[in-house]
Structures are given as structure tokens and as C-alpha cells.
């Protein structure tokens, strides 16, 4: 099972992105990463690392892993948490990156007041491109799940198996990756549940 942690900053991401994507796409991604960094500010991951590392991991998953090259999908991956976690508005995303990017980000944003299970269940109705955004996001989150407290590990594992893995079925690379991840984690979760 591959892990995707080679791009902790734009400096590490830019060269491999330039080898895989057209220059115009890399230019827009640079702007998206800058915008996301400004929006997320000092926000950190649960591990204490800068939040932008998660966004770049998800981008690495999509490009280096799944071979995604659709510019709007890749920009949406970088921006996927700005509506949920920052003051950024959908109108601002439309203005800077276009309506399609804004639509994809909206699909993967949990609406306020909606239960997480209901939000995750609704993703079965999402366009395929929005599903790609969510799949890349979740790979970043689960690839090093062992760093989290064990109760969180078990809950997040079960949530991923129930709601995210079914979405991967129509995306062969993601289906394979999640299948390998599940096989590795199944025994670990059983051991955790025994404590």
C-alpha cells in the first residue's frame, strides 16, 4: 500500500506536478495552494503539523497515485476544506477559481447542522469528480491513521469502510488502494476493539 507524504510543501510538490501536468494547471494549483494557505492560516492537523500538508497529500494522492489530471478536480482537492473550516465563501471560490471548482468543493463540504453520517451518505449522489475529491481527501486522512488515539482509529476506520469505500468502486485505483488499506487495518481494529 503506497503512502503519499512526499509533498509537505509547495516546493516539494511543484517539480513532480510539472512533470505530470500542463504548465497552466500547475500555475492554477500554485494559486490554489497559496489561497488555501491564507484561508487556513495557522490551522493544524490533529498531529500538530500545518494544515496545508493535508491538502498537498491529497493532491499527491490524486496526481501521483490515481493519475488524476482534471484541473478543476485538482484545484477542488486543494480547496476542499475552505468552506467548512474557514470564513471563505462559495462566491469567493467562484470568483477566483470558477463555478465548477466551487460546485465540487460544495459537494464535499458538510453542511452546518447536518449529522456526519447523513452528509457521508449523501455523497452517493455526488458527481464522479466530487467523489474523486473526497476519495483523495480520505486517503490522506487514513494512510497514517495509526498516529491518532485508538478510539478515533476504530471510529474512523468503520466510517471509512461504511461510507467511503463504496464510493471507490467506480474508480479502479482508489478501489485497489482502499482494499489494501482495509486488509491491513482490519486485524488492527479487531485488536483495538478487544481492549
Write the pLDDT tens digit of every residue in 89-142. Answer: 999 999 999 999 999 999 999 999 999 999 999 999 999 999 999 999 999 999
pLDDT of residue 195: 54
Query: Of 84, 144, 180, 190, which residue is the catalytic one?
Result: 84
pLDDT of residue 150: 81
Q: Where are the domains of the chain?
A: 10-194
85 is known as an active-site residue: yes
84 is known as an active-site residue: yes
Q: Examine the pLDDT at 191 and tell me if it is beyond 70.
A: no
CA 48 to CA 7: how far, in whole Å?
17
Q: 139: buried, middle or exposed (CB in 10 Å: 19+, 13-18, 0-12)?
A: buried
Alpha helices by DSSP H, listed for the chain, are: 10-20, 23-40, 52-60, 71-79, 82-85, 90-97, 99-107, 116-122, 128-142, 150-159, 172-194
Q: Examine the pLDDT at 193 and tell me if it is beyond 70.
A: no
Q: What is the mean pLDDT of the chain?
A: 93
CATH number for the segment(s) 10-194:
1.10.3210.10
CA 84 to CA 95: how far, in whole Å?
18
Total-model pTM:
0.94
Query: Of 85, 118, 144, 190, which residue is the catalytic one?
Result: 85
Amino acid at each position: 500500500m503506497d503512502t503519499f507524504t512526499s509533498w509537505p510543501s509547495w516546493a516539494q510538490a511543484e517539480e513532480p506536478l510539472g512533470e505530470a501536468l500542463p504548465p497552466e494547471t500547475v500555475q492554477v494549483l500554485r494559486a490554489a495552494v497559496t489561497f488555501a494557505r491564507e484561508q487556513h492560516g495557522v490551522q493544524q492537523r490533529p498531529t500538530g503539523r500545518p494544515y496545508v500538508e493535508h491538502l498537498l497529500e491529497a493532491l499527491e494522492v490524486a496526481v501521483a497515485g490515481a493519475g488524476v489530471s482534471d484541473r478543476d478536480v485538482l484545484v477542488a482537492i486543494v480547496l476542499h476544506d475552505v468552506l467548512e473550516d474557514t470564513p471563505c465563501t462559495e462566491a469567493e471560490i467562484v470568483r477566483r477559481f470558477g463555478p465548477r471548482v466551487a460546485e465540487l468543493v460544495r459537494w464535499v463540504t458538510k453542511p452546518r447542522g447536518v449529522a456526519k453520517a447523513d452528509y457521508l451518505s449523501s455523497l452517493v449522489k455526488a458527481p464522479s469528480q466530487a467523489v474523486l475529491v473526497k476519495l483523495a481527501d480520505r486517503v490522506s486522512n487514513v494512510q497514517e491513521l495509526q498516529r491518532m488515539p485508538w478510539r478515533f482509529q476504530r471510529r474512523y476506520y468503520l466510517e471509512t469502510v461504511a461510507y467511503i469505500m463504496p464510493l471507490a468502486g467506480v474508480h479502479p485505483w482508489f478501489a485497489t488502494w482502499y482494499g489494501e488499506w482495509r486488509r491491513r487495518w482490519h486485524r488492527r481494529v479487531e485488536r483495538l476493539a478487544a481492549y
